[in-house]
Amino acid sequence: MNEIGKNLKRVRLLKNLSLRDAGALLNMSAQAVAKYEKGQINPNSQRLIEFAKAYNVKTIEFLKSYDVPKMNFTSFRKRKSLTGKNLSLLEEIIQDEVAKYLEVMEINNCNYDEVKIKKYNCNSLEGAEEAAIKFRNDINFSLLQPISDLINTLENLGIIIIQIKNENNRFDDFDGLSEFVGGIPVIVLLDGINDGARQRFTIAHELGHLILNITSNLDEEKICNRFASSLLMPREAVLNEFGKFRNNISLFELIAFKKEYKVSIAATLYRLRDLKIISEYTYKNFSIKINKEFGKRSEPCKINCEESLQFKKIVHKLEIDNIITLNKACEFLGVSINDYNNENNNYGY
């Protein structure tokens, strides 16, 4: 399968179309569509335009080509329902996005040999707590200070963060991935998540997978959850905000803490219970109260999601410095020239 054929297949699957569906849109047989995807027929420019119109995408989507890195997908958090074609497609997209990012960094002469992500030994839940404290100290973040921009903080340490588009909600059951690719730390998560608090917890959890040396017989997911909780809500800060022990707690306090530390009320209650600031009884009662009032999947006070801009910044830099062409910049970003120019002129205004 050549690159164009692979891209044709990927876009078709993203659009949730069968070969027969695609053939109907293109006025050709399903067998003919399959031959294009397998590279047995090479589409000319006019045929690519027809594919683009049928799939409602830009032609450039079929012209991408990157050296795909080897990935192990060892720390790949997903729900059981993400299987088969959707899982294979997601893994393929992740590999291509990582490859694209690494190519841009190479063109920009980024020296990743200088990226040194410190590892922390962890053999218990309390060890995860200690690791989060050490990490904060190592990056000069006070234990009484919220990390207001987690993505930017980690990118400044040399960690690549990639946000995958979730077209047609195909990958709703994907939670996150972290891995060293060629020695470079990478975190992958879904773009377009509406819950910024959940997004930040996912990033912190995946960071745990990258930097913790966890004893093999421990539950790694629980350890990384504890690390994430401790990183975003340090014990010192929580005690300072809520005190050492509470018989009850107000919703106003929880919302105020959520606004400042950008964590969910559910995660805060869990943290308060872990630190024995509230009892199991208080935790359960308040959780039930929140669920009844707002529903299991919603909370008061929405936290906006963070956005990774590093990749875009570098692509725009390379293009404006004439290191890459405008067409190449559009290929990297997956946008048309018009969209690229609009982004270049209007972003943030």
Helix axes 251-261, 265-274, angle to 10 degrees: 100
User: What local confidence, expressed as pLDDT, does residue 345 receive?
Assistant: 61
Q: Is-contact 5 36, C-beta < 8 A?
A: yes
User: What local confidence, expressed as pLDDT, does residue 339 receive?
Assistant: 86
User: What local confidence, expressed as pLDDT, does residue 348 receive?
Assistant: 47
Please report, to the nearest 10 degrees, the dihedral formed by the alpha carbons of residues 257, 261, 267, 273 taken in order: -60
Helix axes 30-38, 19-26, angle to 10 degrees: 100
User: What local confidence, expressed as pLDDT, does residue 145 receive?
Assistant: 92
- End-to-end, the C-alpha distance of the chain in Å comes to 43
Report how far residue 58's alpha carbon sits from residue 1's, in angstroms, rounded to the nearest whole number.
Answer: 21
| C-alpha gyration radius of the chain | 23
Beta-sheet pairing, 75-78 with 120-122: unpaired
**Which domains are seen in the chain, by residue range?**
3-62 (1.10.260.40), 75-232 (no CATH), 235-294 (no CATH), 310-346 (no CATH)
Which amino acid is located at 341 in the chain? Answer: N
User: What local confidence, expressed as pLDDT, does residue 274 receive?
Assistant: 95
Sign of CA dihedral 3, 167, 60, 348: negative
State which residues of the chain have pLDDT below 70.
1, 112-115, 344-349
Q: Is-contact 112 183, C-beta < 8 A?
A: yes
Q: Which two tokens stand for residue 110?
A: 């980024």
Q: Is-contact 264 198, C-beta < 8 A?
A: yes
Which amino acid is located at 304 in the chain? Answer: N
Q: Is-contact 155 310, C-beta < 8 A?
A: yes
Q: What is the pLDDT of residues 281-295, one digit of tens each?
A: 999 999 998 888 887
Q: Which two tokens stand for residue 264?
A: 């969910």
Report how far residue 2's alpha carbon sits from residue 4's, in angstroms, rounded to the nearest whole number.
Answer: 6
